[in-house]
Amino acid sequence: MSQTKIVFSNEEQLLLHDTAIWHTKTVLTEKLYQLLGEVNDEMSALLAPSLKLFLSLEHIPSKISRGENYMGHPYMMLDAPNLFTKEKIFAIRNFIWFGHYAASYLVISGSYLNVFNSGIHLPQPIPHNLYVCINDNPWQHSFTIDNMKPVHKPEDLSNENNFIKLGFKFPLKEANQLKENFLDAYVYYMRLITQSQAHH
């Protein structure tokens, strides 16, 4: 059986020959690894006592990972904490999606949801870039209207899912503020948990 010859477009050939862009990508990736490492370290220093108490852990597990093809584009992420079991989840995912945006997600399910038995008490004022997942899959990370909707009031958090997923969306043009944005999201999430615990 004859096979169709693979033909590379001019744009693809130029990309293959462009040493500068691949060098830039390597340097950028190294910087993002460093940034996510600093987020993890500073988050641990800032919030470790309250997180360890809430999660009943001696240390906060974390992991930095990367990939080349989330919906066609590279990504990097820090999961810290990254508690994933069949029965329950508590994860904060710091996500950088090349060509799109960065985001911070809080995902909670199982017994960790007990903290919200008396309701979710959002710290005020509600940030303009806070979203809630309305999809039944917590691992879709796009901010499309069928997946994440803006939160304007506490009632916006109501849905039928057996998990809660909140997200902050950050434009990549604010790349030099990414670390601060990620850390601010951690602080907001912990205020949310602390206030909800107080009403528990």
Which distant-in-sequence residues (6+ apart) come within 8 Å of 154 by Cβ? 119, 120, 121, 122
| pLDDT of 50 | 80
Tell whether 3 is covered by a domain. no
Q: pLDDT band for 199, please (50, 70, 90 cuts).
A: low
| Host domain of residue 52 | 10-198
The verdict on residue 5 lying in a domain is no
Instruction: Tell if the pTM clears 0.75, that is, is over it.
Output: yes
Average pLDDT for 24-33 = 97
**Would residue 177 count as lying in a domain?**
yes
Amino acid at 147: N
Identify the band that residue 104 occupies on the pLDDT scale cut at 50, 70 and 90.
very high
200 has pLDDT over 70: no
Confidence of residue 114 (pLDDT cuts 50, 70, 90): confident
In a domain, 91, yes or no: yes
107 occurs within a structural domain: yes
Flag whether 192 is in a domain: yes
Q: Is position 4 within any domain?
A: no
The structural domain count of the chain equals: 1
**Residue 1 pLDDT > 60:** no
Stretch 6-28: mean pLDDT? 96
DSSP 100: T
